[in-house]
C-alpha cells in the first residue's frame, strides 16, 4: 500500500496544466460504443484509474482500446461488439459503468449490468436512469445484483421530465435517445459542461441533439452513429482544486486550461474569501498573500456550486478567518472528510446536511485517509498548509480522479512524496 507524505507550509508557485475532465471522458468513452463503421479517437484523455477501469469494461464486451499515455489519446474500436453484459467485478469498481446501458440499449435493444459500486457517498439510486429508459419504451428487470433493460422493438422518442437534474441519468438518456425513433424532449436535465461535451461528441458522431446545457434538451433520433475524433474538455474540478491549493498556501499559480465559464461559483467564492484571481483565455491565475476569510457555501446542480468541490472548500474553511457554513444538497452523507479534518485539529460540527466550520490559524499534521475521491483532495490541501508532515492513505480513491497529482504538485514546489507503507 502506498501513502502520501506532505510537509506543509510551502507556497505553491508556477504553472500547472489541467488534464481532460474525468466526468466528461467517462460518458464519452461509453458513447464510443455507439460508433459503427470506424473507431473513435479521443484526445486529452487523462491518466486515471477510472479511465483504465472503463476501458477494461468496454474491452470485456468486445471493443478494442489503445491508450497512448504520452499523447493522451485513446482509440476505441467498437465496430464489432461481442456482448451486451459487462462482468460484475469490473462494474462494481465504478458507478459510472452504468453509463454503458444507454448506448448498449440503443445499439442492440438490450443490456445487462450489475448494481453499481463507486464512491460510498449517499445511496445514489439510479431510478431516474431507469425511468428514462422506460419512457423510451424499454422494459426493466431488477434481479439479484443485476439490472436488465430490453427494448426488442427498438426505442421510441418521448417527453421525459427528470425529478432531479441527475448528471448520469441525463447522459444515459441522451445516448439512448440518439438513435430512438422520433423526437425526445428531456425536461429538467442536468446542465453541467460535461453534458454539453457528451452531446457535442454525439453530434459529431451524427446525432441530432439541440439545447444541451439548457432546459429542455431536444433529441431527434437518427439511424446510426459513427466513430469519430474528439477532444475532451479540461477538468473543472481538478482546476478548482489547484486554485484552492494556490490560495491556501499563499502562493501564486497559473492554472493553464482552466475555463472560467465552467468555474463561476468557485471563482466567486475564492474572491469573496480574499484571493486574487486573474481570468485569462488560456487559464486562471490565483494568488493570495494574506489569510483567507471564511465564506458560506451551498452545493447545487450546475450552474450552482459543485458538490465535487465541497470537501476541498471545507479544508480551506478550516484555516480561514472566521466561521463558515457548508450545506450539501446534492448528496446525502458526503461529509466523511469531516472526521479526517478533525484529526488535524479542524473545528467542524455537522447537523444533517449542514456543517459549521470555525476557522483556526493552523492545522496540525496527522495520519489521515482519503475517504473518497474529493475527500482525498481535501486531505492533500489540508496537508499542504498543516504544521508538520501529514500522511494520507487510501490513495486508490485519489488515483481514480486526479491525473499525476504528486508530479503536478512537485512542479509547483510542494514538498510531497509517494512512498510504500
Ligand atoms: C456525477 C459525477 C459526480 C458528481 C455528480 C454530481 C460522473 C462520473 N460523476 O455523478 O462526480 O458528484 O455528478 O455533480 O460524472 N439520483 C437519484 N436518482 C437517480 C440518479 C441520481 O436520486 O437515478 C440522485 C443521487 O442519489 C444524488 C443526486 O441525484 O443524490 C446527484 O446524482 P447524479 O447527478 O446522478 O450524479 P452522478 O451522475 O452519479
Of residues 124, 411, 407, 71, the one with CA closest to residue 253: 411
* C-alpha–C-alpha distance, residues 61 and 224, integer Å: 19
Q: Is the CB of 164 under 6 A from ligand 1?
A: yes
Higher model confidence: residue 367 or residue 333? 367
Looking at residues 266-295, what average pLDDT do you find? Answer: 97
* C-alpha–C-alpha distance, residues 213 and 305, integer Å: 16
Burial 156-173 (b: 16+ CB within 10 A, else e): bbbebebeebbbbbbbbb
Residue 15 annotated to the active site? no
Place of cell 466561521: 323
Q: What number does the ligand 1 atom closest to the CA of 130 have?
A: 23
Looking at residues 175-204, what average pLDDT do you find? Answer: 98
Q: Is the CB of 6 under 6 A from ligand 1?
A: no
- Band (115; pLDDT cuts 50, 70, 90): low
Q: Is the CB of 308 under 6 A from ligand 1?
A: yes
State what percent of residues in the chain have pLDDT above 90.
90
Predicted confidence (pLDDT) per residue in 157-175, tens digit: 999 999 999 999 999 999 9
Predicted confidence (pLDDT) per residue in 88-101, tens digit: 788 878 888 889 99
Ligand 1 mean position to 92 CA, how many Å?
16
Ligand 1 mean position to 185 CA, how many Å?
20
Give, for ligand 1, the residue of 101, 124, 301 to mutate: max count of ligand atoms closer than 8 Å to Cβ. 124
Q: Is the CB of 128 under 6 A from ligand 1?
A: yes
Place of cell 423510451: 136
- Cα separation values, 367 from 6, 256, 383, Å: 10, 32, 10
Ligand 1 mean position to 290 CA, how many Å?
36
* C-alpha–C-alpha distance, residues 406 and 414, integer Å: 9
Contact 335, 377 (CB under 8 A): no
Q: First-to-last CA distance in the chain? A: 6
Q: Is the CB of 14 under 6 A from ligand 1?
A: no
Looking at residues 311-330, what average pLDDT do you find? Answer: 98
Predicted confidence (pLDDT) per residue in 352-372, tens digit: 999 999 999 999 999 999 999
pLDDT value, residue 121: 43
Give the residue whose CA is nearest to atom 30 of ligand 1.
331
- Band (61; pLDDT cuts 50, 70, 90): very high
Looking at residues 343-350, what average pLDDT do you find? Answer: 98
What is the maximal distance between C-alpha atoms in the chain? 64
Place of cell 496527522: 366
Catalytic residue among 119, 338, 412, 414: 119
State what percent of residues in the chain have pLDDT above 70.
98
Across the chain, mean pLDDT equals 95
pLDDT value, residue 48: 97
Looking at residues 63-75, what average pLDDT do you find? Answer: 98
Predicted confidence (pLDDT) per residue in 373-412, tens digit: 999 999 999 999 999 999 999 999 999 999 999 999 999 9
Q: Is the pTM of this model over 0.85?
A: yes
Cis peptide before 2 (omega within 30 of 0): no
pLDDT value at 118 more than 50: no
pLDDT value, residue 146: 80
Ligand 1 mean position to 361 CA, how many Å?
35
- Grid coordinates representing 98? 452504468
pLDDT value, residue 120: 44
Burial of 1 (0-12, 13-18, 19+ CB in 10 A): exposed
* C-alpha–C-alpha distance, residues 385 and 236, integer Å: 22
- Band (125; pLDDT cuts 50, 70, 90): confident
pLDDT value, residue 88: 79
Predicted confidence (pLDDT) per residue in 193-233, tens digit: 999 999 999 999 999 999 999 999 999 999 999 999 999 99
Ligand 1 mean position to 124 CA, how many Å?
7
* C-alpha–C-alpha distance, residues 414 and 249, integer Å: 10
Amino acid at each position: 500500500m502506498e501513502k502520501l507524505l506532505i510537509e506543509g507550509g510551502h507556497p505553491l508557485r508556477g504553472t500547472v496544466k489541467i488534464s481532460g475532465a474525468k466526468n466528461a471522458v467517462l460518458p464519452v468513452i461509453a458513447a464510443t460504443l455507439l460508433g459503427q463503421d470506424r473507431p473513435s479517437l479521443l484526445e486529452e484523455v487523462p491518466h486515471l484509474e477510472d479511465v483504465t477501469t472503463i476501458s477494461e469494461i468496454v474491452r470485456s464486451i468486445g471493443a478494442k482500446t489503445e491508450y497512448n499515455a504520452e499523447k493522451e489519446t485513446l482509440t476505441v474500436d467498437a465496430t464489432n461488439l461481442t456482448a451486451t453484459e459487462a462482468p460484475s467485478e469490473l462494474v462494481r469498481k465504478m458507478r459510472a459503468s452504468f453509463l454503458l446501458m444507454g448506448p448498449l440499449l440503443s445499439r442492440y435493444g438490450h443490456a445487462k449490468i450489475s448494481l453499481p459500486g463507486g464512491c460510498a457517498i449517499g445511496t445514489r439510486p439510479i431510478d431516474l436512469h431507469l425511468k428514462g429508459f422506460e419512457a423510451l419504451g424499454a422494459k426493466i428487470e431488477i434481479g439479484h445484483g443485476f439490472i436488465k433493460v430490453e427494448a426488442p422493438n427498438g426505442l421510441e422518442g418521448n417527453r421525459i421530465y427528470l425529478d432531479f437534474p441527475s448528471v448520469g441519468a441525463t447522459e444515459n438518456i441522451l445516448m439512448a435517445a440518439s438513435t430512438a425513433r422520433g423526437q425526445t424532449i428531456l425536461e429538467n436535465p442536468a446542465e453541467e459542461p460535461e453534458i454539453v461535451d457528451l452531446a457535442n461528441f454525439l453530434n459529431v458522431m451524427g446525432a441530432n441533439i439541440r439545447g444541451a446545457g439548457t432546459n429542455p434538451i431536444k433529441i431527434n433520433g437518427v439511424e446510426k452513429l459513427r466513430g469519430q475524433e474528439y477532444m475532451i474538455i479540461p477538468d473543472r474540478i481538478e482546476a478548482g482544486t489547484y486554485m484552492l491549493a494556490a490560495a491556501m498556501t499563499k502562493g501564486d499559480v497559473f492554472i493553464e486550461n482552466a475555463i472560467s465559464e465552467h468555474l463561476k461559483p468557485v471563482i466567486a467564492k475564492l474572491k469573496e474569501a480574499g484571493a486574487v484571481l486573474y481570468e485569462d483565455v488560456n487559464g486562471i491565475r490565483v494568488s493570495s498573500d494574506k489569510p483567507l476569510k471564511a465564506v458560506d457555501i451551498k452545493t447545487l446542480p450546475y450552474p450552482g456550486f459543485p458538490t465535487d468541490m465541497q470537501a476541498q472548500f471545507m479544508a480551506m474553511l478550516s484555516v480561514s478567518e472566521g466561521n463558515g457554513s457548508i450545506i450539501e444538497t446534492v448528496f446525502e452523507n458526503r461529509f466523511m472528510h469531516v472526521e479526517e479534518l478533525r484529526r488535524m485539529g479542524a473545528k467542524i460540527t455537522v447537523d444533517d446536511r449542514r456543517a459549521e466550520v470555525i476557522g483556526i490559524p493552523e492545522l496540525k499534521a496527522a495520519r489521515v485517509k482519503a475517504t473518497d475521491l474529493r475527500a482525498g483532495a481535501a486531505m492533500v490541501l489540508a496537508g499542504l498548509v498543516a504544521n508538520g508532515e501529514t500522511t494520507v492513505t487510501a490513495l486508490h480513491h485519489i488515483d481514480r480522479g486526479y491525473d499525476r497529482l504528486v508530479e503536478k504538485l512537485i512542479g509547483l514546489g510542494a514538498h510531497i512524496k509517494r512512498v510504500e507503507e
